[in-house]
Amino acid sequence: MELGKLKKRLQVAKRGHKLLKDKLEEMMKQFLGLVEENRHLRETVEESLSEVFKGFLLARAQMSPEFLTGAIAYSKHKLTLEAGIQRRMG
């Protein structure tokens, strides 16, 4: 009787271990996908910032500091940023 209980517990433990292992593998796949997406987005943002900085340096060289400050303060471009939290198999 005791041996039967132990065998059943072992079977349940093995099944639980396999499920956790599968979950870990899936989470690693998702994480590596997010890392790749982050790398791509970072490259895009860094390229854009580089272009903006070049334009700023050119404007700073050609304009007086007061005029440049005024031009930056009254920019017509509006920026938005969306942030959120996503649960991933957790």
Q: What is the pLDDT of residue 90?
A: 64
Per-chain mean pLDDT for the chain: 92
- Residue-wise pLDDT for 18-40, tens only, equals 999 999 999 999 999 999 999 99
Q: With 90 as the cut, is the pLDDT of residue 8 above it?
A: yes
CA 35 to each of CA 9, 26, 42, 57, 74: distance values in angstroms, whole numbers, following the listed order: 38, 14, 10, 32, 37
* Confidence (pLDDT) at 68: 85
Domains of the chain: which residue ranges? 25-71
What average pLDDT does this structure show over 47-73? 90
Confidence at residue 88, expressed as pLDDT on a 0 to 100 scale:
75
Q: Reply yes or no on whether the pLDDT at 89 is more than 80.
A: no
